[in-house]
Amino acid sequence: MPDYYHLAIAWDWEFDTDFVAMLESEVQRLKLKSYSITHHNVQETLGNMQKSELRFGAFLDRAGDGDEKFPPLARFMKKSGALFINHPDDVHHAIDKATMHLEFITKGIEVPFSVIISPHNKKKEIELRLSDIANLKWPFIIKPANTTGGGIGVVLNAASLKDIIETRQHHKNDKYLLQEKIVPVRMENRKAWFRVFFVFGSVIPCWWDDETHIYHLISRQEMTAHRLRPLISITKKIHAVCKLEFFSTEIAVADDGRFVAVDYVNEICDMRLQSKHSDGVPDVVVLEICRKIAKHLKAALR
């Protein structure tokens, strides 16, 4: 009989250490077995799976977009029938910002006015209508549709056609979004900008500053006083579109009162602890996420 573990976690970022340790602790607290996969043991793990000496019930992949050693592991996990926390087919669909933009509109989710332009390698010339330029307003944001993580490739204060021409050549095979810049209202002494986590049906919204990246917990009183319940319903709508079970999104409240999804789906959430990093996620939020994952696995892998 192969050795069996309920959860395998693949990771290759040094700052994931605390999150992985916390998740493993919560999984083990529920009498489940966890298995950590890093660049040190990824090939050995894959080999043992191929020899039917090792089997996993579920898989959380936080390394598949990094080290080239990890994708073959994910493919074999898929072949073996492991339960994915974010299935790779859904991830592929969700990370395309252009696709998400159009599907959000179809589902009635407010998004910034955006113009989607073709990849440079598909069409060298940029086609922009005067109405697009008028509605976009300047400055605006330029972001690649599929290059994700940490704001890679994003220009926050674009102000000319030259900016567009130069930026889209950085990722020549990728579509780009030219996006209206949303200026949030202020609620008491904070920007009305939020990062919201979704994990297996639960929604955890936090205050988040798009410039400092500092999180603050939202109190029940603040949820009521500022009428922030739409953060929950909108995030559930986003889940219905992207199908991911663990992701974050960014939502801002515009000056006309609209709740606008300003950054659509982040499929690999930064889980650094606030107790160790000033711009990390509040520890209680990370713990709650770990508990939700462990609880789901306990029910799914009975």
pTM of the model: 0.90
* CATH T-level assignment (fold) for domain 184-266: D-amino Acid Aminotransferase; Chain A, domain 1 (3.30.470)
Please tell me the predicted confidence (pLDDT) of residue 93. 94
59, β-bridge pairs: 8, 84
| Axis crossing angle, helix 70-80 with helix 42-50, rounded to the nearest 10 | 30
pLDDT tens column, 95-120: 998 899 999 999 999 999 988 888 87
Q: Which residues contact 211 (CB under 8 A, 6 or more apart)?
A: none
pLDDT tens column, 215-238: 999 999 999 999 999 999 999 999
Decide if pLDDT at 137 tops 90: no
DSSP letter at 16 equals: G
Please give the mean pLDDT across all residues of the chain.
Answer: 91
* CATH T-level assignment (fold) for domain 113-180: Dna Ligase; domain 1 (3.30.1490)
In this structure, what are the phi and psi dihedrals at residue 80, rounded to the nearest 5 degrees? -80, -10
137-151, 169-183, 206-220, 285-299: the lowest-pLDDT one = 137-151
The answer to whether residues 283 and 206 touch, using CB atoms and an 8 Å cutoff, is: no
Q: Ranked by mean pLDDT, which of 76-85, 140-149, 167-176 comes out on top? A: 76-85
Which tokens sit at 49? 């799976």
Helix (H, G, I), strand (E, B) or coil at 125: coil
In this structure, what are the phi and psi dihedrals at residue 206, rounded to the nearest 5 degrees? -135, 150
Helix (H, G, I), strand (E, B) or coil at 116: strand
Domain parsing of the chain, residue ranges = 3-85, 113-180, 184-266
* Distance, first Cα to last Cα, the chain: 18
Please tell me the predicted confidence (pLDDT) of residue 68. 85
Reply yes or no on domain 3-85 having CATH 3.40.50.300: no
In percent, the amount of the chain with pLDDT more than 70 equals: 97
Across the range 26-39, mean pLDDT stands at 97
Nearest to 6 by CA among 26, 34, 40: 34
Q: Which residues contact 51 (CB under 8 A, 6 or more apart)?
A: none
The span from the CA of 260 to the CA of 258, in Å, is 6
Which tokens sit at 154? 């994003």
User: In Å, how far from its chain's centre is CA 108?
Assistant: 20
